[in-house]
Amino acid sequence: MSKRENFGSKIGAVFATAGSAVGLGNIWRFPIETGRNGGAAFIIIYIACILLIGIPVMMSEFVIGKHTRSNTAGAYQKLAPGTQWKWVGRLGVFAGVLIFSYYSVVAGWTIEYAWLALSNSFLGKTPDEFGKIFAEFSTDPVRPTLWLIVFILLTHYIIVKGVTKGIERWSNVLMPVLLGIITILVVCSALLPNASEGLNFLLKPDFSKVDGKVVLNAMGQAFFSLSLGLGCLCTYASYFEPQTSISKTAIEVCTIDTLIALMAGFIIFPAAAASGYHLQPNDIGPSLIFITLPNVFQMAFHGLPWVAYIFSVMFYILLILAALTSTISMHEIVTSYMTEEFNLPRKKGAVFETGIAIILGTLCALSFGTLGNVHIFGMTIFDLFDWTVSNFCMPLGGMFISIFTGWYLDKKVFRDELTNYGKHGAPYVRGLVFTLRYITPLAIFLIFLNQFGVFNFA
């Protein structure tokens, strides 16, 4: 078999992993969750979730991947041969197939909207018209499917180039551009009239809004935003160089991800305040970015159509970049699995995943229109995929990963990986093991009980 590739530099590893984390979740969910769940109070809870669940699970995935230098399914077979732990890895690969398929649908929509912004089609539209444009587009049987395929092929193109020349090289270009664009947008938003009113609304702490449900939302958001529980981080860590520090990388990735999510809020809320529009609790997900925001941007820069134009174009390019760095990592979970477990050349492994994603993704894309009547367990195909990944595979995967490293994994392996074989200290190891044994699995278990209605937090 050919030599396994590595990320050639530490910064490449950080950009690639942060690229996976930074995605649509940061932009279309985090700001609104914050706005409606008590502002700074939600941010504090979110950060607590990152410290207690996010960083421990991320470091566990890193240890598993870096130690075994294997795809996520192969990693458990190496660390726990002959046991059932391999199913944790396989669950991740299964979820990887699902998430890549449905996430690419929305990623495809961002290309349509970047095109609409570029061709100045938002100019002079009323709020109702924005709603109609989106309804017509998303239910169309052809265009969303075409954009889906374009997005999948774009991801495929990067994946087949390999780890260093594909994933790393592209992350090193896309992430700095993304950071540049988001910074410019934040500055533009901050200059708007009433910007401080918007920020105030976003950040004012209101602890009275915090209840069990809010804590669960924060946990769910942390999982999705940090790409936890699917073996994606494990796969990427298998390409880390030996000298890459696991704890440093985890902290850097979590910091970048959280900062970008906050910056998305610093773009959206001041723009909404300047436009006189009050964001509603249901302005979340696709309706936020495809109906509310194009309208908000037009109104916020009323009288400055050029600025509105450039701002909108940059915003949709930002979405494309954020989505692309995430879909690359989703694709890689499955490609590395196919290549290593079935001894396929990388190209064939990638073609396999791309083919499945085009088929399943098309079903998801059509579930907004042509296949809208098809319901499984009361959900459309798109919603079913999303539900299975976000509410089932991610928490379940995260729970088993923490139990695996907390209880099963040889603590010498764990310590060796965290200290880079004694090259630096890791005074936090005992606390981390305690968290992984008790706190993380219990917290995730509560999400489950709540989700399946065993008890209700609200």
Q: Which residues bind ligand PFF (CB under 6 A)?
A: 20-21, 23-26, 99, 224-225, 227, 230, 232, 326, 329-330
CB of 231 to ligand PFF, least distance (A): 8
Tell me the residue number closest to ligand PFF, measured at CB: 23
CB of 30 to ligand PFF, least distance (A): 8
Nearest residue (CB) to ligand PFF, 94 versus 130: 94
Cα(399)–Cα(418) distance, rounded to whole angstroms?
20
CB of 186 to ligand PFF, least distance (A): 18
Q: What does the chain come to in residues?
A: 458
Chain-centre distance for alpha carbon 345: 28
Nearest residue (CB) to ligand PFF, 33 versus 273: 33
Cα distance between the two ends of the chain: 54
CB of 351 to ligand PFF, least distance (A): 20
Nearest residue (CB) to ligand PFF, 119 versus 255: 255
CB of 345 to ligand PFF, least distance (A): 24
Residue type, 85: W
Nearest residue (CB) to ligand PFF, 188 versus 384: 384
Cα(458)–Cα(451) distance, rounded to whole angstroms?
11
Cα-Cα-Cα-Cα dihedral of 98, 104, 105, 109, to 10°? 160
Q: Supply 91's token pair.
A: 């669950």
Helix axes 169-190, 246-275, angle to 10 degrees: 40
CB of 38 to ligand PFF, least distance (A): 21
Q: What is the CA radius of gyration of the chain?
A: 21
CB of 195 to ligand PFF, least distance (A): 25
Nearest residue (CB) to ligand PFF, 112 versus 257: 257
Nearest residue (CB) to ligand PFF, 74 versus 96: 96
Q: How many other CB atoms are found less than 10 A from the CB of residue 445? A: 13
Nearest residue (CB) to ligand PFF, 45 versus 433: 45
Q: Supply 2's token pair.
A: 């050919």
Q: Give the helix ranges, DSSP H, for 80-126.
A: 86-118
Cα-Cα-Cα-Cα dihedral of 415, 421, 424, 427, to 10°? 10
